[in-house]
Amino acid sequence: MEQTDRMDCREGRDIRAGKKRFSKNAALENASWESGVRKVTPYTPGEQPRRAGIIKLNTNECPYPPSPQVKRLAAEFETDILRLYPDPEASLLVKSIAEHFGVGEDQVFVGVGSDDVLAMAFLTFFNTDKPILFPDITYSFYDVWAQLFGIPYSRPALDEDFRLVKEDYLVPNGGIVIANPNAPTGICEPMTVIEEIIAKNPGSIVIIDEAYVDFGGMSAIPLVEKYDNLLVVQTFSKSRAMAGMRIGFAVGSPKAIRYLRDVKFSFNSYTMDAPTIAWGAASMADDAYFRETVEKVAGTREYLKKELSSLGFSFPDSRTNFVFASHEKVPAEEIFLALKEAGIYVRYFPGERTGNHLRITVGTKEQTDALLAFLRNYLK
Ligand code: PMP
């Protein structure tokens, strides 16, 4: 009896194990590897047309070349710069940025474009169940990173003039991201508003994305000495005319920068290549050229605003190298397509609140005149 029981038991176990094995196999056969894929809707970058002879005013690049110091270094290019691994700390570049802003080298983090810096910052600092906050109309990569990293987020609406509603950022949150000046609106919020949001959120990292600040905005970098929850992100892609090199950086408290570096070095040590490090440092050191370039762009922007107004366009007051304009009569999409047909590329963002605007990058005076000449004729 005892024997039989044991047998039954054993058999039972065997049968159950066999069944389990069978159902496991069935589950294996029915499973699709796709159910385990991290699915995301990727960011759609602006078009990079290869057509010759076009006027490219669609991705906010600088119409002027980078500092002549970059060209000089490029001419002295030695192949060892490619043969050897680059400095993982990008020390030369970090030092030039720290010197420029009068902060410690331990307060600077560099990355492959500010997209890389922002993505690292999302991954590092936004790690709670509380939603992070950024406006409904802003740089559309923020949603993508939040989705990619599984970060809950909420997008308080800008008001009807596309201004930030400060109170929306004085609620419990897992972090805050504000582009200042904002994109695609071009609006710069006063530093008093930015500081209040940082000061009243000591429990969250506040990222201020200053991709366009050099064209007339005000930087929050001086506030990093006062608030260790502030991270200011800038780029070489716009005012330093080096979008093709991919350099971005963050300035923050030594503690915040340490956390960012820990995540970055857990991911890939050698993200920034050696020519980029050397040429970026040369660009940062050439302040006179930098100032001359941004002044030229800002001057053309003011001219563009004046002429667009006289053609029946209205727009928020841009402090950037682009204007977010809508026409009193003609739908934005129609103008966008007509411009494209004529080889003039601007950016159009379909959507309920943005769909009647064109984001026009400030080009050279000649490019701007060509754009205006087309519009004058088209809108007649
Ligand atoms: N932030 C904002 C607001 C931007 O518009 C852009 C440019 N698309 C970036 C960041 C990223 O720029 P980059 O990666 O070239 O530094």
pLDDT of residue 113: 98
118 CA to centre of ligand 1 in angstroms: 9
Protein residue closest via CA to atom 8 of ligand 1? 59
Question: How much is the average pLDDT of 12-38?
Answer: 66
pLDDT of residue 29: 79
* Pocket lining: 259 vs ligand 1, CB cutoff 6 Å: no
pLDDT tens per residue, range 247-291: 999 999 999 999 999 999 999 999 999 999 999 999 999 999 999
- pTM of this prediction? 0.92
Kindly tell me if the per-residue pLDDT of 2 is higher than 80.
Answer: no
pLDDT tens per residue, range 311-353: 999 999 999 999 999 999 999 999 999 999 999 999 999 999 9
- Phi, psi for 267 (deg, rounded to 5): -120, -55
pLDDT of residue 138: 98
* The two three-digit tokens of residue 22, written as one number: 């069978």
Question: How much is the average pLDDT of 90-95?
Answer: 98
* Pocket lining: 209 vs ligand 1, CB cutoff 6 Å: yes
* Pocket lining: 204 vs ligand 1, CB cutoff 6 Å: no
Question: Could you give the strand order of the β-sheet that contains 108-111, starting from the edge strand earlier in sequence?
Answer: 108-111, 248-252, 230-235, 206-209, 175-179, 132-133, 153-154
Give the confidence band of 9 by pLDDT, cuts at 50, 70, 90.
very low
Alpha-carbon distance 259 to 248, whole Å? 17
* Contact between 234 and 249 (Cβ < 8 Å): yes
* Pocket lining: 120 vs ligand 1, CB cutoff 6 Å: no
* Pocket lining: 248 vs ligand 1, CB cutoff 6 Å: yes
* Pocket lining: 113 vs ligand 1, CB cutoff 6 Å: yes
10 CA to centre of ligand 1 in angstroms: 66
Q: Which atom of ligand 1 is the closest one to the Cα of 182?
A: 3
* Pocket lining: 260 vs ligand 1, CB cutoff 6 Å: no
| 4, 57, 118, 164, 273 from 208: Cα distances, Å | 75, 25, 10, 13, 26
Kindly tell me if the per-residue pLDDT of 66 is higher than 90.
Answer: yes
271-307 as b/e: b if 16+ CB within 10 A? bbbbbbbbbbbbbbebeebbeebbebbbebbeebbeb
* The two three-digit tokens of residue 45, written as one number: 């970058």
Question: How much is the average pLDDT of 183-201?
Answer: 98
* Pocket lining: 241 vs ligand 1, CB cutoff 6 Å: no
How far does CA 197 lie from the centroid of its chain?
20
pLDDT tens per residue, range 40-55: 999 988 899 988 999 9
- Phi, psi for 378 (deg, rounded to 5): -65, -35
Mean pLDDT (the chain) is 93
* Pocket lining: 211 vs ligand 1, CB cutoff 6 Å: yes
pLDDT of residue 6: 39
Kindly tell me if the per-residue pLDDT of 19 is higher than 80.
Answer: no
Three state DSSP letters for the chain: CHHHHHHHHHHHHHHHHHHHHHHHHHHHHHCCHHHHCCCCCCCCCCCCCCCCCCEECCCCCCCCCCCHHHHHHHHCCCCHHHHCCCCCCCHHHHHHHHHHHCCCHHHEEEECHHHHHHHHHHHHHCCCCCCEECCCCCCCHHHHHHHHCCCCEECCCCCCCCCCCHHHHCCCCCEEEEECCCCCCCCCCCHHHHHHHHHCCCCCCEEEECCCHHHCCCCCHHHHHCCCCEEEEEECCCCCCCCCCCCEEEEECHHHHHHHHHHHCCCCCCCCCHHHHHHHHHHHHCHHHHHHHHHHHHHHHHHHHHHHHHCCEECCCCCCCEEEEEECCCCHHHHHHHHHHCCEECEECCCCCCCCCEEEECCCHHHHHHHHHHHHHHCC
Q: What percent of the chain has pLDDT over 90?
A: 85
Q: Which atom of ligand 1 is the closest one to the Cα of 118?
A: 10
Tell me how far apart the terminal alpha carbons of the chain are, to the nearest angstrom: 103
Q: Which amino acid is at 192?
A: T
159 CA to centre of ligand 1 in angstroms: 23
* Pocket lining: 245 vs ligand 1, CB cutoff 6 Å: no
Alpha-carbon Rg for the chain in angstroms: 26
Q: Of the ranges 10-24, 25-39, 177-191, which is most confident?
A: 177-191
Protein residue closest via CA to atom 12 of ligand 1? 114
* Pocket lining: 139 vs ligand 1, CB cutoff 6 Å: yes
How far does CA 221 lie from the centroid of its chain?
17
Kindly tell me if the per-residue pLDDT of 65 is higher than 80.
Answer: yes
pLDDT of residue 22: 52
141 CA to centre of ligand 1 in angstroms: 9
The residues, any chain, with a CB within 8 Å of residue 167's CB and separated by 6 or more, are none
Give the confidence band of 8 by pLDDT, cuts at 50, 70, 90.
very low
User: Residue 241 CB: number of other CB atoms within 10 A?
Assistant: 22
Question: How much is the average pLDDT of 147-151?
Answer: 96
